[in-house]
A and B are shown apart, each in its own frame.
Chain A
Amino acid sequence: MIILLIHYNLEGSGNMKETDIKFLENAFKKYYFEHSDLIRVPERTIEREFGYQKFNFGMIRHISIKDNKELRLLLMQNIPSDVYCSNAYYSFPDLPMKEKDWKEADLIFDIDAKDLNLSCRENHTISICNNCKEISKNSEHCIKCKSSKLEKKSVACKNCINSSKTEVSKLIEVLTDDLGVIKENIHVYFSGNEGFHVYVYNSDFQTLGSRERSDLADYIMFKGIIPETFGMKKFKPDKNLFPNLDENGWRGRFSKEVFGSKSRRPKIISQLIANGHSSFLKTLDDVSEKIGVKIDPNVTMDIHRIFRLPGSINSKSGLSKILCNDLQKFDPYLESCILNDDSIEITANCPIEFKLKHKKFGPYQNEVVTVPTYAAAYMICKNLATIS
Chain B
Amino acid sequence: MLTLGHDEITRYPFLTDAGQYLKDKGFSLSQFGTDPVLKISVEKAFNRIVVATEGKVYNSDLIDGQASKPHVIELEVFSFLLAIVLIKLSGMSTLVKRFALAEARRAESYLKEDLGKASSQSEIDLIKKIIFELSGIEVNKKDDFFTIHVSDYLKQSATFHEREWKLINRHVENGKVFLNSEKIIRLLRKEIGVYISSKINKAPVPEMIPGLETEVKNLISIAKKFTPIFVTTGEYPPCIKHAINVLEKGENLPHSGRFMLATFLLSKGQSVEQIAPLFKNAPDYNERVTLYQLNNLAGNSGSGTQYTCPSCQKLTTQNLCFATSECDNIINPLQFGRKRKYERN
Report the minimum CB–CB distance from A145 to chain B (whole Å): 32
Contact, CB under 8 Å: A214 / B167:
no
> Does any Cβ of A come within 8 Å of B254's Cβ?
no
Given known A-B contacts A98-B307, A211-B158, A229-B169, A302 and B286 have beta carbons under 8 A apart: no
Report the minimum CB–CB distance from A361 to chain B (whole Å): 36
> Does any Cβ of A come within 8 Å of B273's Cβ?
no
Cα A298 to Cα B303 in complex, Å, equals 15
> Does any Cβ of A come within 8 Å of B163's Cβ?
yes
For residue A276, which residues in chain B have a CB less than 8 angstroms away from its CB? none
Report the minimum CB–CB distance from A78 to chain B (whole Å): 20
Report the minimum CB–CB distance from A325 to chain B (whole Å): 25
Cα A97 to Cα B306 in complex, Å, equals 10
A208's partner among B151, B164, B170, B288 (CB-CB below 8 A) is B151
Q: Which of chain A's residues has its CB closest to B171's CB?
A: A249
Contact, CB under 8 Å: A208 / B155:
yes
> Does any Cβ of A come within 8 Å of B168's Cβ?
yes
Q: Which of chain A's residues has its CB closest to B295's CB?
A: A3
Cα A230 to Cα B66 in complex, Å, equals 40
Given known A-B contacts A215-B157, A216-B154, A97 and B305 have beta carbons under 8 A apart: yes
Contact, CB under 8 Å: B172 / A212:
no
Given known A-B contacts A179-B175, A214-B288, A208 and B303 have beta carbons under 8 A apart: no
Report the minimum CB–CB distance from B300 to chain A (whole Å): 7
> Does any Cβ of A come within 8 Å of B271's Cβ?
no
> Does any Cβ of B come within 8 Å of A226's Cβ?
yes
Stretch at the interface among A36-44, A113-121, A122-130, A217-225: A217-225
Contact, CB under 8 Å: A214 / B175:
no
Which of A62, A97, A212 has most B Cβ within 10 Å? A212
Within A198-239, the residues touching B (CB, 8 Å) are 203-205, 207-212, 214-216, 218-219, 222-226, 228-229
Which of A96, A178, A297 has most B Cβ within 10 Å? A178
> Does any Cβ of B come within 8 Å of A61's Cβ?
yes
Contact, CB under 8 Å: B168 / A222:
yes
Given known A-B contacts A3-B301, A97-B302, A98-B307, A249 and B154 have beta carbons under 8 A apart: no
Cα A32 to Cα B235 in complex, Å, equals 58
Cα A225 to Cα B284 in complex, Å, equals 18
A210's partner among B167, B173, B174, B293 (CB-CB below 8 A) is B293
Report the minimum CB–CB distance from B266 to chain A (whole Å): 15
Cα A2 to Cα B304 in complex, Å, equals 11
Count chain A residues whose beta carbon lies closer than 8 angstroms to a beta carbon of B.
44
Chain B 152-182 against A: per-residue CB contact (8 Å), 1 yes, 0 no? 0011011100011011111111111000000
A180's partner among B174, B289, B300 (CB-CB below 8 A) is B174
Within A296-347, the residues touching B (CB, 8 Å) are 297-298, 301-302, 304-305
Q: Which of chain B's residues has its CB closest to A250's CB?
A: B168
For residue A219, which residues in chain B have a CB less than 8 angstroms away from its CB? 166-168, 172
Contact, CB under 8 Å: A214 / B286:
yes
> Does any Cβ of A come within 8 Å of B58's Cβ?
no
Cα A316 to Cα B270 in complex, Å, equals 35
Number of contact residues on B: which range applies? Answer: 35 or more
Q: Which of chain B's residues has its CB closest to A209's CB?
A: B158
> Does any Cβ of B come within 8 Å of A19's Cβ?
no
Contact, CB under 8 Å: B163 / A224:
yes
Contact, CB under 8 Å: B166 / A304:
no
Contact, CB under 8 Å: A216 / B167:
yes
For residue B176, which residues in chain A have a CB less than 8 angstroms away from its CB? 180
Within A155-201, the residues touching B (CB, 8 Å) are 177-181
Which of A177, A203, A229, A248 has most B Cβ within 10 Å? A229
Q: Which of chain B's residues has its CB closest to A182's CB?
A: B175
Contact, CB under 8 Å: B175 / A181:
yes
> Does any Cβ of A come within 8 Å of B296's Cβ?
yes
Cα A204 to Cα B150 in complex, Å, equals 8
Contact, CB under 8 Å: A301 / B168:
no
For residue B258, which residues in chain A have a CB less than 8 angstroms away from its CB? none
For residue A305, which residues in chain B have a CB less than 8 angstroms away from its CB? 302
For residue B289, which residues in chain A have a CB less than 8 angstroms away from its CB? 210-211, 214, 301
Q: Which of chain A's residues has its CB closest to B166's CB?
A: A224
Within A1-54, the residues touching B (CB, 8 Å) are 1-3
For residue B307, which residues in chain A have a CB less than 8 angstroms away from its CB? 98
Contact, CB under 8 Å: A297 / B169:
no
A301's partner among B164, B175, B292, B305 (CB-CB below 8 A) is B292
Cα A222 to Cα B166 in complex, Å, equals 11
For residue A181, which residues in chain B have a CB less than 8 angstroms away from its CB? 175
Given known A-B contacts A219-B167, A219-B168, A302-B292, A204 and B175 have beta carbons under 8 A apart: yes
Given known A-B contacts A3-B301, A97-B302, A215 and B150 have beta carbons under 8 A apart: no
For residue B168, which residues in chain A have a CB less than 8 angstroms away from its CB? 218-219, 222-225, 229, 250
Cα A211 to Cα B166 in complex, Å, equals 11
For residue B155, which residues in chain A have a CB less than 8 angstroms away from its CB? 208, 212
Cα A301 to Cα B293 in complex, Å, equals 11
Cα A297 to Cα B288 in complex, Å, equals 9
Cα A222 to Cα B293 in complex, Å, equals 23
A226's partner among B151, B163, B302, B304 (CB-CB below 8 A) is B163
For residue B305, which residues in chain A have a CB less than 8 angstroms away from its CB? 96-98
Contact, CB under 8 Å: B171 / A3:
no
Within A86-102, the residues touching B (CB, 8 Å) are 96-98
For residue B170, which residues in chain A have a CB less than 8 angstroms away from its CB? 229
Which of B149, B151, B293 has most A Cβ within 10 Å? B151
Report the minimum CB–CB distance from B24 to chain A (whole Å): 39
Given known A-B contacts A97-B305, A180-B150, A215-B157, A226 and B164 have beta carbons under 8 A apart: yes
Report the minimum CB–CB distance from B255 to chain A (whole Å): 11
Q: Which of chain A's residues has its CB closest to B307's CB?
A: A98
Chain B 133-158 against A: per-residue CB contact (8 Å), 1 yes, 0 no? 00000000000000001110011011
Contact, CB under 8 Å: A249 / B302:
no
| 14 CB-based A-B contacts, threshold 8 Å | A98-B305, A178-B173, A178-B175, A179-B172, A204-B151, A205-B151, A208-B151, A214-B292, A216-B150, A249-B171, A251-B171, A301-B289, A304-B302, A304-B303
B-side residues, CB < 8 A to A, are 149-151, 154-155, 157-159, 163-164, 166-176, 284, 286, 288-289, 292-293, 296, 300-305, 307
With A225-B168, A302-B292 given, name 6 new contacts (CB 8 A). A181-B175, A210-B293, A211-B286, A215-B166, A219-B167, A249-B172
A-side residues, CB < 8 A to B, are 1-3, 61-62, 96-98, 177-181, 203-205, 207-212, 214-216, 218-219, 222-226, 228-229, 248-251, 297-298, 301-302, 304-305
